[in-house]
Amino acid sequence: MNIKTVSKTFKNPLYLKSGRILEPYTLTYETYGNLNSNKSNVIVVCHALTGSHHAAGKYTPEERKSGWWDALIGPDKTIDTNKYFVICVNTLGSCFGSTGPMSQEYPSSKQYRLKFPVITISDMVKAQKILFNELEIYSVKAVIGGSMGGMQVLSFATEYPNFAEHYISLAATHATTPWTIAFNKIARESIIKDPKFNNGEYDQEDIKKNGFSGLATARMSGFISYLSPKSMQNKFSRKYVLQDGLYQLFGKYEVERYLDYNGNNFVSWFDPLSYLYITKAINIFDLSLGFDSLQDSLKRVSSSLHLISFKSDCLFFPKEMQEIKSAMDEIGKANLCTYLDVDSEYGHDSFLVETEKFNSYIQNILS
């Protein structure tokens, strides 16, 4: 598979929803496959909270893990890179090459840190659209993403309704609920209250080497919300760590050990401030913001909108996607909207791990 990674810096100011300006800013993106002569085979993939532009494939054969949606993207897969030219952009605020809180605050040599402006999902999408214009890609076959990526898809559909032929949003919502904001609150407080956070002035190398319990705990909180009770039961049951005594105060069940491992490993590759800024963007997200209602915002949709939810999703519940479908029906746009509720077991993460349950649905949309 032809993988290319590119970083592009923009010197024109980016006007944000907050009223702040970002100038200059950089976007890092990755492409797969080959662009055809009339640029009609482009598919945009949007990543989730801790995702990146590396959506598929491996950079080297020795690399341990493939890109985060490798099950869906590649030669002869659902998003077939023999046919399509796939672009995935690392969002603003992230820590994988695009401008974020640890980037240099021009013209000084200092990092933004807590001076970085609050970014919204709409801002992320706006920056991507500017990039696509720069690449002279003015329309695409589809925009697709799950979770926060699905939020980006919905923003594309309402803010740039003629950009794509199909908008495919998975495991997302039209407005982040108090339930999800509460999960994010626990994660955010864990980071902020850790003494190592030091009002955002933490030592990046130190926390990668010696750990950062606040970010690790934040990851644990998130991980619980990404799974379902059934998947937890299937994966861990009530197994106890064999070398730990059941009546030792700090003895662990297997699920506890896994949370420790997952959380501590997370600190080595993700940035605490990026986590704070991106969860803030997720909390703010509301498709009806600036409109009289959800229905009013969806009146802007003019291309096909495809919604996929997962029955066991405990972060963005299926009813939240059903509300979008109902709103589209109410405003007379039922013909533009399809909805699939997937019988899933893995909770919110089903969009990453149970691709076999919806890949034919997406193939039919694209064909």
List pLDDT tens digits, range 134-185: 999 999 999 999 999 999 999 999 999 999 999 999 999 999 999 999 999 9
State the average pLDDT for the chain.
97
Q: Kindly list the structural domains of the chain, giving each domain's residue range(s) and its CATH number in brackets, ordered by start.
A: 3-175+286-366 (3.40.50.1820), 180-279 (1.10.1740.110)
Q: Residues 235, 224: contact at Cβ < 8 Å?
A: no
Q: Which residues pair with 74 in a beta bridge?
A: 80
Backbone angles phi, psi at 305, to 5 degrees: -115, 120
Count CB atoms within 10 A of the CB of residue 265.
12
* pLDDT of 35 over the 90 cut: yes
Determine whether the annotation assigns residue 203 to a binding site: no
* Predicted pLDDT of residue 308: 98
Any catalytic annotation for residue 221? no
* Catalytic residue chosen out of the listed positions 47, 53, 54, 348: 348
Determine whether the annotation assigns residue 329 to a binding site: no
Amino acid identity, residue 137?
A: I
Closest CA relative to residue 308, chosen from 349, 234, 361? 361
* Predicted pLDDT of residue 61: 87
Residue 142 parent element (H or E): strand 140-146
* Catalytic residue chosen out of the listed positions 53, 313, 344, 350: 313
* Predicted pLDDT of residue 1: 83
* Predicted pLDDT of residue 341: 98
Q: What is the mean pLDDT of residues 279-295?
A: 97
Residue 10 parent element (H or E): strand 3-10
Residue at token pair 């059934």: 230
Burial of 136 (0-12, 13-18, 19+ CB in 10 A): exposed
* Catalytic residue chosen out of the listed positions 52, 122, 147, 297: 147
Any catalytic annotation for residue 108? no
* pLDDT of 240 over the 90 cut: yes
Number of H helices, E strands in the chain: 12, 12
* pLDDT of 211 over the 90 cut: yes
Amino acid identity, residue 125?
A: V
d(CA 204, CA 217): 17
Q: Residues 69, 134: contact at Cβ < 8 Å?
A: no
**How many residues are given for the chain?**
367
Any catalytic annotation for residue 80? no
* Predicted pLDDT of residue 62: 87
Residue-wise pLDDT for 52-100, tens only, equals 999 999 999 888 899 999 999 999 999 999 999 999 999 999 999 999 9
* Predicted pLDDT of residue 38: 94
For helices 178-193 and 272-284, what crossing angle results, to 10°? Answer: 160
* Predicted pLDDT of residue 121: 98
